[in-house]
């Protein structure tokens, strides 16, 4: 008997949405992420946590310009993520030219597109959604009152770009490695998930310690990167299946 596939074929039907894969990869992240975001953003969870961090750092953002948080994690982490993305691009280019493993070629292309999509969408949202960083707010020694995400903003206040968390997206976008593994080496999927979530958490926590973001900013970034990676994976899975089916047909036609 053939092994049961880890991922059911994509078909946006009630039966697919009721599948275990849809439950654990789509519905469960939404069920956890959306209420957590609302709790943090709408019910004071962000301020509660930021207040504790601010007091712990002595009533000012002592780690804002610290060597570890700014030079190592912020700048170094950004360059490390960029270098890893360039390596993925080079591997993708090489394997599309020379490798006969079609699944690996599609999986590498998936990683390249998923990284660009995740970080690009977060950057776009930062450009169009005006929100202040904690270090800008009167509550934490800044000069601006807090304006909620869905509150109207006076035109003379400017439009700072602090939502979602851009730096954290350079980590959370790597959750695509989980889906890369599902496409090519399913046994590696948990390592891929650990890399994506781990790097996102390190980048996100560092920025919160600097006063650059609230926790809800990172929750939104993680959820957006996950959903984008999931949607692109389902599309890539269909392309891989179609490519695999077309290859034997061409061989039979040439026989």
What the block records as the tokens of 24 is 């654990």
pTM: 0.90
Among 175, 146, 192, smallest CA distance to 33 is for: 175
Average pLDDT over residues 12-36: 87
- Can you tell me whether residue 161 is helix, strand or coil? strand
Tell how many helices (H) and how many strands (E) occur in the chain.
10, 0
- Can you tell me whether residue 179 is helix, strand or coil? helix
Count CB atoms within 10 A of the CB of residue 219: 25
What the block records as the tokens of 60 is 């000012």
Count CB atoms within 10 A of the CB of residue 4: 6
* CA atoms within 13 Å, Cβ hemisphere of 188: 14
**Domain locations in the chain as residue ranges:** 62-148+159-244
pLDDT in tens, 59-68: 999 999 999 9
- Residue 14: pLDDT above 80? no
pLDDT in tens, 212-228: 999 999 999 999 999 99
Please report, for residues 2, 119, 132, 147, 227, the alpha-carbon distance to residue 70 in angstroms, rounded to integers and kept in the order given. Answer: 52, 20, 19, 26, 29
Alpha helices in 173-214 (DSSP H): 176-184, 189-210
Torsion (CA) 156, 142, 222, 130 in degrees, nearest 10: 0
Contact indicator for 190, 97 with CB cutoff of 8 Å? no
Q: What is the pLDDT of residue 169?
A: 97
Q: What is the pLDDT of residue 231?
A: 94
Alpha-carbon 105 to chain mean position: 22
* Rounded CA separation 108/117 (Å): 14
């Amino acid at each position: 008997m053939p092994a049961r596939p880890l991922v059911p074929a994509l078909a946006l039907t009630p039966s697919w949405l009721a599948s275990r894969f849809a439950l654990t990869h789509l519905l469960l992240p939404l069920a956890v992420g959306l209420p957590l975001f609302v709790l943090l953003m709408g019910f004071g969870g962000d301020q509660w946590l930021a207040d504790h961090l601010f007091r712990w750092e002595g009533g000012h953002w002592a780690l804002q310009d610290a060597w570890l948080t700014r030079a190592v994690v912020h700048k170094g982490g950004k360059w490390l993520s960029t270098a890893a993305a360039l390596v993925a691009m080079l591997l993708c280019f090489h394997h599309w030219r020379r490798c006969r493993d079609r699944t690996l070629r599609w999986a590498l292309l998936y990683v390249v597109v998923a990284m660009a999509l995740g970080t690009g969408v977060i950057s776009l949202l930062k450009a169009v959604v005006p929100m202040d960083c904690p270090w800008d707010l009167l509550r934490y020694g800044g000069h601006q009152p807090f304006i909620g995400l869905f509150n109207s903003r006076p035109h003379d206040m400017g439009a700072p770009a602090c939502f979602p968390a851009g730096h954290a997206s350079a980590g959370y976008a790597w959750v695509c490695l989980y889906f890369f593994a599902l496409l090519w080496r399913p046994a590696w999927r948990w390592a891929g998930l650990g890399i994506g979530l781990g790097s996102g958490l390190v980048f996100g926590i560092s920025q919160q310690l600097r006063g650059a973001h609230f926790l809800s900013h990172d929750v939104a970034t993680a959820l957006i990167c996950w959903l984008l990676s999931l949607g692109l994976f389902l599309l890539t899975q269909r392309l891989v299946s179609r490519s695999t089916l077309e290859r034997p047909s061409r061989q039979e036609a040439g026989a």
